[in-house]
């Protein structure tokens, strides 16, 4: 295929000779494509390979009167069930809760750590930390440990001067505000 460049305003080549420009466009992709002719089926197969069979269920949502938080109580790792009565909702302070999904030790440690930092904030500033502030504090801490193998997926839910608040925070330091979450 020959590219007709006679109608262009400028005759000055961008890449050098016009043949180089044509060769650049007509060359094959510089990355490997999947060895398939049915790309729709290929994608469906890949999606079906990633099907989590088990895991924790924690959910929270904001409604007219406040925030509702719920969680299952089973602790498991794959097919092994270590406990049927784990408390996956952790009190950070009397107005704020955190949910636990991921590694139990990681979640418990970082929620306890957040509770201490929230109390220190209250003592230093003579007022309670907001739900927004607490979730941002946890996200910043977890961000500084990203890539270290932590396994934390938590929701920070509570009530402050601005009303109900709900945030999702993960072990990479990601933080989302929302009206409802399920982890």
As a whole number of angstroms, the distance between CA 132 and CA 177 comes to: 9
DSSP letter (8 states) at residue 128: P
- Answer whether 58's CB lies under 8 Å from 104's CB: no
Separate counts of helices (H) and strands (E) for the chain:
4, 11
43 CB contacts (<8 Å, ≥6 apart)?
none
Of the candidates 37, 56, 132, 154, the residue annotated as catalytic is 56
Strands (E), the chain: 58-63, 66-71, 75-77, 80-83, 89-93, 96-99, 101-102, 152-160, 163-170, 175-177, 180-182
- Is 57 among the catalytic positions? no
Which of 135, 136, 175, 156 lies closest to 91, judged by CA? 156
Q: Which residues pair with 61 in a beta bridge?
A: 68, 180
Residues forming the active site: 56
């Amino acid at each position: 295929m020959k590219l007709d460049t006679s109608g262009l305003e400028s005759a000055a080549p961008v890449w050098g000779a016009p043949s180089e420009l044509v060769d650049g466009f007509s060359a094959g992709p510089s990355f490997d494509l999947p060895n398939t002719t049915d790309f729709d089926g290929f994608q469906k197969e890949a999606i079906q390979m990633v099907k989590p069979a088990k895991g924790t269920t924690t959910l929270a949502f904001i409604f007219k009167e406040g925030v509702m938080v719920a969680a299952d109580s089973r602790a498991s790792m794959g097919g092994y069930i270590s406990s049927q009565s784990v408390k996956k909702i952790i009190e950070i302070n009397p107005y704020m809760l955190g949910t636990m999904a991921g590694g139990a030790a990681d979640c418990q440690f970082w929620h306890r750590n957040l509770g201490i930092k929230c109390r220190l904030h209250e003592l230093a500033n003579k007022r309670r930390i907001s739900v927004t502030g607490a979730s941002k504090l946890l996200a910043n801490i977890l961000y500084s440990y990203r890539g270290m193998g932590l396994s934390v997926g938590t929701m920070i839910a509570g009530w402050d001067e601005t009303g109900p608040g709900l945030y999702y925070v993960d072990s990479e330091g990601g933080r989302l505000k929302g009206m409802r979450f399920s982890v």
